[in-house]
Amino acid sequence: MTQEKDVYTRITNKIIADLEKGELTWRKPWSGDNLSGHVMLPLRANDMPYSGINTIMLWATAAEKGYTSPYWMTFKQATSMKANVRKGEKGSYVVYADKFEKEDKDANGNTTVQKIPFLKQYTVFNASQIEGLPEAFYTLPEPKIVNPEQRIEALEQFIKHTKANVFTGGKAAYYIAQDKIEMPPFEAFNNAASYYAVLAHELTHWTRHPSRLDRDFNRKKWGDEGYAKEELVAELGSCFLAADLGFEPPEPENRAAYIQSWLTVLQNDKRFIFQAASFAQRAVEYVTAMQPKKEQPNPRVQAAVL
């Protein structure tokens, strides 16, 4: 087995094992006491967030190991700051997608260059495993408590700037033919976090429209494999966007049914969790790019919806 295939298989098998136990790997931060109220995207040493599959894996590792810092860095980056990885600490793998060029000649002697994608993996350590870093790497911002019964203006403005057509109805759904999002009344939800999490899920679906990201998965009917794939993308997109905007999404409805459909998809395609994470990341980047530059949300300053 090549190293690339091993990366896909190893990470997918870990997620499948978690799903078989009823655990949603990408939601572990919200069930971990160590990160309660401080859910953030995993950050590099330079404050740039990790994305896609790396977000899922680093969140899960942090919850499993009890790491409290959102920062992850290589051994070399730590030593460059005159810090030390504690003896006996084991690193975590992250992956990096790259391409190499291959030249081919056809029968006429013409040369073509083909770019072939591949995965690299490297090792990072959480700041909780490292001694001697600047204090900023160990200090978490205090969560800001907001009345859960009130709409959150910053989140309302975020949705408004996407120009998505959201109307009030009896259920949560996205209708691609009409390009509309239906949402139950705000007051019908237990708290603000539940409302915005569901809206983030439907907003991720909204990005699949042909005029936007044109995500299809050959979906033919409700409940088929294409449906399961799109629901996984929307679930991940909701979690990524929630971490970006600073609120905690509740568990999805019909959790058991979703888990079973996602298990089938992942068992059939070892690469799909990588693709789903990438599609979800693109969806979040798409709606974030629609925000005015000065008003783009910052997870360090956004109020957390508790």
Kindly report, residue by residue over 140-193, the tens digit of the pLDDT: 766 655 556 788 898 999 999 999 999 999 899 999 999 999 999 998 888 888
Residue 296 has pLDDT above 50, yes or no: no
Q: pLDDT digit string (tens) for 111-142?
A: 777 777 778 889 999 999 999 999 999 887 66
Per-residue pLDDT, 116: 72
Residue 297 has pLDDT above 70, yes or no: no
**Residues 295 and 156 sit within 8 Å (Cβ to Cβ):** no
Q: Cα 145 from chain centroid?
A: 24
Is 291 exposed, middle or buried, given 0-12, 13-18 or 19+ CB atoms closer than 10 A?
middle
Angle at 252 between CA 227 and CA 176, to 5 degrees: 40
C-alpha atoms less than 13 angstroms from C-alpha of 8 in its C-beta half-sphere: 18
Residue 3 has pLDDT above 60, yes or no: no
Per-residue pLDDT, 45: 93
Q: pLDDT digit string (tens) for 229-264?
A: 999 999 999 999 998 888 878 778 788 889 999 999
Dihedral sign computed on CA atoms, order 228, 175, 233, 71: negative
Give CA–CA dist 79/123, Å, rounded: 14
Residue 72 parent element (H or E): strand 72-73
The tokens for 60 are: 């899960």
Q: Which residue has the tokens 């910052």?
A: 298
Give CA–CA dist 276/268, Å, rounded: 14
Is 143 exposed, middle or buried, given 0-12, 13-18 or 19+ CB atoms closer than 10 A?
middle
Give CA–CA dist 19/39, Å, rounded: 21
Summary mean pLDDT of the chain:
86
